[in-house]
Amino acid sequence: MLPGADDAITRNGKSLILAYDHGLEHGPVDFEPNPETADAETIFELGTHDAVTAVAVQKGVAEAFYDDYAEDVTLLAKLNGTSNLWMGEPDSALNCSVAYAAEELGADAIGFTLYAGTNGEVEMAEEFRRVQEAARAHDLGVVMWAYPRGQGVKNDTKPGVISYAARMGLELGADVAKIKYPGSADAMAHACEMAAPTKVVMSGGSKTDDRAFLETVSDAIDAGAEGLAVGRNVFQRDNPQEILDALEAVIFEEASVEEALEHTSAAAVADD
Ligand code: FBP
Domain limits of the chain? 7-271
Q: What percent of the chain has pLDDT over 70?
A: 97
Whether 59 is catalytic: no
Helix (H) or strand (E) holding 15: strand 15-19
In whole angstroms, what is the distance from residue 220 CA to residue 17 CA?
15
> Does the pLDDT at position 268 exceed 90?
no
**CB 199 less than 6 A from any atom of ligand 1:** no
In whole angstroms, what is the distance from residue 211 CA to residue 182 CA?
18
Beta bridge partners of 144: 112, 177
**CB 19 less than 6 A from any atom of ligand 1:** yes
Domain 7-271 sits in CATH 3.20.20.70? yes
Nearest to 91 by CA among 121, 50, 52: 121
Q: What is the pLDDT of residue 38?
A: 98
**165 CA to centre of ligand 1 in angstroms:** 15
Catalytic residue, candidates 178, 180, 199, 207: 178
Phi and psi angles of residue 243, each rounded to the nearest 5 degrees, phi first? -70, -30
Q: What is the pLDDT of residue 131?
A: 98
| Helix %, strand %, coil % of the chain (to 5) | 45, 15, 40
Band (pLDDT 50/70/90 cuts) for residue 242 is: very high
For ligand 1, mutation pick of 145, 156, 217, 237 (most atoms within 8 Å of CB): 145
